[in-house]
Amino acid sequence: RRWLQNYLGTNPATVTMPLGADLVNRFGRALFIKAKFDQGGAMPIDEFNSATLLSFSKADILIFMGAEVTELKAGEMVETYKI
């Protein structure tokens, strides 16, 4: 799978992959949501709590959610960044 090859480092840090759980943007601004690469997709660790430092240590990707996006459903392809 091409997105898996991207994740493993053969291409730049941006990777598009399926979302593992529903997300809602209730802030009206762009968000980077901490996530884990899990079973072929991006599984959010927690939605919006950037103060939780422990979750940063568990995250290996960030999911980008644009300001114009209010909701993402599990299975949708999302832009992620390796961290």
**pLDDT by residue (tens digit) across 8-25?**
565 557 888 999 999 999
| % of the chain at pLDDT higher than 70 | 76
CB 75 within 8 A of CB 19: yes
**pLDDT by residue (tens digit) across 26-35?**
888 998 899 9
Average pLDDT over residues 60-64: 91
Query: According to the model, what pLDDT value does residue 78 have?
Result: 95
Query: According to the model, what pLDDT value does residue 71 have?
Result: 95
Encoded tokens for 67: 């300001």
The number of beta carbons lying within 10 Å of the beta carbon of residue 77 is 13
Q: What are phi and psi of 63, to 5 degrees?
A: -95, 130
